[in-house]
A and B are shown apart, each in its own frame.
Chain A
Amino acid sequence: MRTVLALAGGPLRAARASGGAGARLTPGALAVIAFAVTTAFALSVVGGLRGFEGRAADPTSDVMADLAPTYVTLAWIAVVLLIVPLVSLGAGAARLGVARRDARLSTLRLLGVTGPQTVALTALETAQQGLVGAAIGLAGYGALLPVWTRIPFMGQPFTAGEIWVGVPVLAATLVVVPLVAAVSATVSLRRVVVTPLGVARRTTPPALRWVRVLGVVGAVGAFTVVAKVQLGFEGAVVTVILLGLLGLVLGTINLLGPWTISLLARVMVRRATTPARLLAGRRLLDDPKAAWRVVAGLGLAGFVAGIVSVLPGLAAATGDGDTADRLLAQDLVTGGILTLAIAFAVAAASAGIAQAASVLDRRQEYALQHLAGVPVELFDEVRRRVVVAPLALVAGTSAAVALVVLLPLFGMALVTAPQGLLLLAGCLLGGGLLVVAATETSRPLMRAVLRETDVRPG
């Protein structure tokens, strides 16, 4: 353990050690930011759930007493929808830390440091970053509280007290986030431990197999069949089954994503006529899972957007109902859009962090290419294409899948209330622009990297 502690460098020490252009935005700092964003939004979501649970337990009006239990269920659905991108962002942060340490850890392995020591070293360093990120995330959660207290639900906004998660949860966060970070980093590090040379080679990765599609087809098919036939179950049972299958469909999107991106990349490579298109296609084909991780949050957001698009139809259908029905319909739209906004924010954070990490990881490659005359505009275009191509594909496809899946539930409401589709298009466009803007934040970092003229690897 003493060896591990001696080898472990804190995030700040790692930041200083990296030097050069990256000293201003180290992978360690990026990981801390990602942990902070994950923590702030996760606490906000939990706070919202607590708020609804509080209103269900202690309603202040008949309408609230009537609606609150339904809202608790819907809040849980929102938690499930957001948990994937949040966990994905957190895991990405852990991997980010590991990726930059791969070379050093491989060298340590070759020098004789044992596998368990390598794992412990990585877990310790990533847990440090997780702790710092969680602490910053707590502050972020506090800063977001006034924002959430402006949004009305059941006719009145939450008070800060209603969505305050409490000191025990905050304290637990400071333990759980570093722990999850350490576990995620440990899993990511398996290949270094298994083979010390494994991370040093850049070879052709095995192609993703088409059988991934079968899982998605099966989940969507099961959902559609149950929705149509209902299998003779009572209404409540069907709802539970449908929600379960909805979760399954959601999960299989993660299975389908990388495979779809690899297909897109093959088309891009085959049809590329310019260096930028060729490079972008090759980069996506090289690691479609990494590209998917960047846009996975948006894929989910697209799915949510598809759901949101049918809600105005639902609200219109209940327009003649009582106060509770109208409130529920309005709040469904509000909650859907809120979920979507958080998903987009998380996706933008993922994209920005992944792009900055990519620039840092490829700093020597970029610098050498530039010295050989490759213009900076080419790098910018490649960076943009690597994000925008899968972004358009994933957001559009997942929204379409959501519409298809929900058609049996809401049917003609889509046609009778086309404003929902307009809302969908607007959300996707706005979210897409947000993600593109987030990727552009790495432009200054790229310029700083290209100013390096040391042509010999350190």
Chain B
Amino acid sequence: MSVPLPPPPPPAAASATAPAAVVPPAAHAAARLSARGLVKTFGTTTALAGVDVDLAAGESLAVMGPSGSGKSTLLHCLAGILPPDAGTIALEGREIGRLSDRERTLLRRERYGFVFQFGQLLPELPAEENVALASMLLGTPRARALDLARQWLAALGLAGMERRRPGELSGGQAQRVAVARALITGPDVVFADEPTGALDQTTGADVMRVLTETTRAAGASLVLVTHDENVASWCSRRIEVRDGRVVGA
């Protein structure tokens, strides 16, 4: 049973105030992210054995599968963290699978957003600076980045908590900050790896609602790795990975 959703938060307002460099691109009719024949091996272990995936603009895709199935490796390849051994990956029609390490780092910074299980927030920075940092890395002046960060935090229900450090936030609040940080740059795709893995079910559902709604409203696509059916149910589509292959969609 799906949880009744309140109206989506106002990311449009935040995006409207975003500098040109971080405005999310317009929606694309065709696949935004497309992978064909992805192969990745580690020593004698084949993590991906020819995977095809397409992701449309604004779509949310849950990648499921048991431990060791290759779902995290698939996320790493799609996100430009690992280069595939074979196959192609295209973002908006541009091949990204053969980029250098430096180019992939730039790609991740400018075009992607990330939400990990936990630990991605810098402990010495207050929430607003954790969010603003991502924008500052793209060249946004500090004052402007902080202003944007506060808007995002307010939109995600964290008004009044801007000055709190990660250690002073609950797990759910910290993940909302992570979502704000992932979206402030206006990414094409947000990658989330077990984003609710460290949360209880109620808080996890709350974070998933915020993640999926806000990502969609910001015009970004979402790739989410999980082994939890409840978490996957928040996505518009799901695929099952086993032994490095997509076996169910």
A272 contacts across to B, CB distance below 8 A: 142
CA distance A375 to B107 in the complex (A): 11
Set A203, A282, A369, A371: member contacting B81, Cβ < 8 A: A371
Q: How far is the CB of B121 from chain A (nearest CB, A)?
A: 9
Chain A nearest Cβ from B104, distance in angstroms = 9
Taken together as a complex, chains A and B put the C-alpha atoms of A321 and B14 apart, in Å, by: 79
A2: CB under 8 A from chain B? Answer: no
CB-CB nearest in chain B for A201: B167
Interface residues of A in 351-399 (CB under 8 A from B): 364-365, 368-376, 378
Contact A204 B165 (CB under 8 A): yes
- How many angstroms from the CA of A146 to the CA of B109 in the assembled complex? 54
> Which one of B112-120, B150-158, B205-213 is at the A interface?
B112-120
A401 to chain B, nearest CB (A): 29
Report the minimum CB–CB distance from B96 to chain A (whole Å).
13
Given A278-B129, A370-B105, are A286 and B137 also a contact pair (CB < 8 Å)? no
Do A375 and B109 touch (CB < 8 A)?
A: yes
**When chains A and B are docked, how far (Å) is the Cα of A372 from the Cα of B104?**
10
With A282-B124, A373-B137 known as contacts, the answer to whether A273 contacts B112 (CB < 8 A) is no
A-side contacts of B79, CB under 8 Å: 371
Given contacts A204-B165, A279-B122, A455-B117, 10 further A-B contacts (CB under 8 A): A201-B167, A278-B125, A279-B125, A285-B124, A369-B120, A372-B120, A453-B76, A453-B81, A456-B116, A457-B119
- Would you give the shortest CB distance from A247 to chain B, in whole angstroms? 35
Q: Report the bound CA distance from A139 to B33 in whole Å.
A: 60
B residues near A285, Cβ cutoff 8 Å:
124
Residues of B within 8 A of A218 (CB): none
**Taking beta carbons and an 8 Å cutoff, which residues of A are in contact with B?**
201-204, 272-275, 278-279, 282-283, 285-286, 364-365, 368-376, 378, 453, 455-457
Encode B135-166 as 1/0 by CB contact (under 8 A) with A. 01100011000000000000000000000011
Name 23 A/B residue pairs within 8 A (Cβ), A-sorted: A201-B167, A202-B165, A202-B167, A203-B165, A203-B168, A275-B136, A275-B137, A278-B136, A368-B114, A368-B116, A368-B119, A369-B120, A370-B105, A373-B106, A373-B109, A373-B110, A373-B112, A373-B114, A374-B109, A374-B137, A375-B105, A455-B116, A457-B118
Q: How large is the interface on B (under 10, 10 to 19, 20 to 34, 35 or more residues)?
A: 35 or more
Q: Most chain-A Cβ atoms within 10 A of its Cβ — which of B79, B105, B107? A: B105
Q: Is the CB of A282 within 8 A of B116?
A: no
Residues of B within 8 A of A201 (CB): 167
CB pair B120–A456 under 8 Å, yes or no, is: no
Which among A283, A286, A368 has the highest number of chain B CB atoms within 10 Å? Answer: A368
Closest to B123 in A: A202
B120 and A368 within 8 A (CB): yes
Q: Mark B79-118, 1 if CB is under 8 A from A, else 0.
A: 1011000000000000000000010011111101110111
B72 at the interface (CB under 8 A from A): yes
B194 part of interface (Cβ distance < 8 Å)? yes
B59 near A: Cβ within 8 Å?
Answer: no
Which residue from chain B places its CB closest to the CB of A271 in the assembled complex?
B142
Closest to B106 in A: A373
Given contacts A368-B119, A371-B114, contact A202 B166 (CB under 8 A): yes
In the docked arrangement, what's the CA distance between A368 and B102, Å? 16
Contact B112 A365 (CB under 8 A): no
Indicate if the CB atoms of A364 and B110 lie closer than 8 Å.
no
Cα-based distance from A457 to B194 in the complex (angstroms): 11
**CB-defined interface of B40-61 with A at 8 Å, one 1/0 digit per residue?**
0000000000000000000000
A370 to B116 alpha-carbon distance, docked (Å):
12
Q: Give 8 closest A-B pairs by Cβ, nearest first.
A: A373-B109, A202-B167, A373-B108, A202-B123, A286-B124, A203-B167, A372-B114, A368-B120
**Chain B, Cβ-Cβ closest to A378:** B137
A274–B167 touching, CB < 8 Å: no
Contact A365 B119 (CB under 8 A): yes
Closest chain B residue to A364 by CB distance? B119
Query: With an 8 A cutoff between CB atoms, is B193 at the interface?
Result: yes
Chain B's nearest CB lies how many Å from the CB of A434? 28
| Residues of chain A within 8 A of B72, CB atoms compared | 455-456
Please give, as numbers and ranges, the residues of chain B lying within 8 Å of A203 by CB-CB distance. 165, 167-168
How close is A450's CB to chain B, nearest CB, in angstroms? 10
Decide yes or no whether B197 CB sits under 8 A from chain A: yes
Contact of B197 among A279, A286, A456 (CB under 8 A): A456
